[in-house]
Amino acid sequence: MTGAGAPAASRALRSQGRRTVRRLLEAGVEVLAAKGYHAARVDDVVRAASTSHGTFYRYFANKDDLFRALLVEVGEAMGEHAESLGPLTADDAGREELRRWLVGFARLYDRFAPVVRAWVEAEMDTDQFGRVGADVLAGFAGILTERIEAADGPVDDPASAAIVVVAMIERANYYAAVGHLAIDPEPLADSLAAAVHAALFGISTPRVSH
């Protein structure tokens, strides 16, 4: 798994080739961060990777192919993290687990923010591109649904609750990463954990002691 796109799928890359692919992928993230998906130019990417157009198309079928490859990487990292969510319980341990998991998610999100933003930007366009992103989301929601069912809390409809939770987590992190609204990361993580736990078990925070 080199991370390369379609044109390189049939060939076995040598070490030089693999290095170039890596450089292009990293350049892709850079450009996505700087200009976003639609404004990203192949020229920007090859310049950032210090290579040529010809080389780009040796490893990726086109612009989308590169970004799809990036999204797949992100999807894999996110999927792995999603699996790491332990059982959800109504007690403090459960809330703590949730918090731990959300912090990990925030870290991932922050790291991959440019790619996720690109996905959001591109959602409408390419079926393929949108598909990869939707799969990530669906996988996420699926795992949450399982945990919620297993938690046996007061939730009526685990599937739609999971979606609400995913939506909340994703967007809140998105706002934080994009900086669209001014939020501090720490209180946000707390608020999120509280909100999610409350949504699942009905108790907002342990310090409700008045």
Partner DNA sequence: TATGAATGAGCCTTCATTCAT
Partner DNA sequence: AATGAATGAAGGCTCATTCAT
When asked if residue 93 is in the footprint of a second copy (CB under 8 A), the reply is no
Residue 174 to residues 75, 152, 207: CA-CA distances in angstroms?
16, 30, 28
Tokens of 24: 């292009």
When asked if residue 40 is in the footprint of DNA (CB under 7 A), the reply is yes
Enumerate the H helices of 6-126 as residue ranges.
Answer: 15-39, 42-48, 53-59, 63-83, 92-122
> How far apart, in whole angstroms, are the C-alpha atoms of residue 194 and residue 206?
9
Q: Quick check: 94 and 201 in contact, CB under 8 A?
A: yes
Please give the single-letter amino acid code of residue 142: G
Given the rule CB under 8 A, which of 15-23, 58-66, 74-82, 162-170 is the region that contacts a second copy? 162-170
When asked if residue 127 is in the footprint of a second copy (CB under 8 A), the reply is no
- Binds DNA (CB under 7 A): choice among 2, 51, 191, 205: 51
Q: Quick check: 26 and 59 in contact, CB under 8 A?
A: no
Give the closest residue to 136 by CA, choosing from 157, 103, 166.
Answer: 166
When asked if residue 10 is in the footprint of DNA (CB under 7 A), the reply is no
Binding mask 63-102 for DNA (x = CB under 7 A): x---------------------------------------
When asked if residue 73 is in the footprint of a second copy (CB under 8 A), the reply is no
Binding mask 110-149 for DNA (x = CB under 7 A): ----------------------------------------
Please, which residue, 3 or 168, has the CB nearer to a second copy?
A: 168
What residues between 10 and 39 interact with a second copy by CB under 8 A?
35-39
